[in-house]
Every structure is written in structure tokens, then in C-alpha cells.
Amino acid sequence: MTGLLVVDAQRGLFEMIHDPAPKVAAMRDLLERARTGRIPVFFTQDLDVGEPGSEARAIHPELTPLKGETVIQKGAADAFHGTQLEAFLKARGVTRVGVCVANPRLRFCLRRWEPSIGGF
């Protein structure tokens, strides 16, 4: 089964993008299609963005996780390192992961995952 991983869709990271509205709309559309297709959705939240409880750290309100969707809080670029992401994916039967990234500058996160992605 394929799952969707939404990487760091936080307000503070969208603020770094010139004209973030089209990116938010595209991610919202992808989320809606995944949810309609009953594809499991997982989010990561970078703990280095903003202060605890701040608007910057919060996931963008148009991309808010629904009840039952997993949010992995991470302290490193690699969402698999030091988190339960792999266990959550396996528990939902996910064997392939589609990834969407809020800020194009975060592509380095994906490269950092390569050693820890395992069978995904």
C-alpha cells in the first residue's frame, strides 16, 4: 500500500517561500485526493521551526491533519532518525511512500533519508 508523507508543512517554512498560496493549494489538493482514495497520510513537524506553541511551528491551517492521521515530531532532517515513523508506516501496511515537501529548500531532507528509508 502507498502512503503519503507531508514533510514539515509548517507556517514558518511557508513564510520563507515567495507567494506560498499556490504551493499550499497544490498540497491541499494532494491531501484531499489521498484522503478520498483512503491513502494513509502522515505528517512530519520540525521541532527546530519556531518556539513550542508558536504559529511558526504549527502546521498550516489549510493542511491540518485529520483525526487519526499521524504527526511525527522530529528534531533532525531525517524523519526516520530517532522517531517512530517507520513503525507507524509498517503498522498501516505502507510499503511505498509518496512525499510532498512544503519548502523546496527542504529537498536535502529527502537525501538525508536515503540510508534510513529501508524497504520504502
Q: What is the pLDDT of residue 104?
A: 65
Domain harbouring 37, CATH code: 3.40.50.850
Instruction: Give residue 57's pLDDT.
Output: 82
pLDDT of residue 62: 96
Residue numbers of the domain that contains 104: 2-116
Q: How far apart are CA 15 and CA 10, in angstroms?
A: 9
For 70-84, how does the pLDDT look when each residue is reduced to its tens digit (9 = 90+)? 999 988 877 887 889
Residues of the chain with pLDDT under 50: none
- State how many domains the chain has: 1
Strand partners, 6: 43, 100
pTM of structure: 0.84
Contact 2, 96 (CB under 8 A): yes
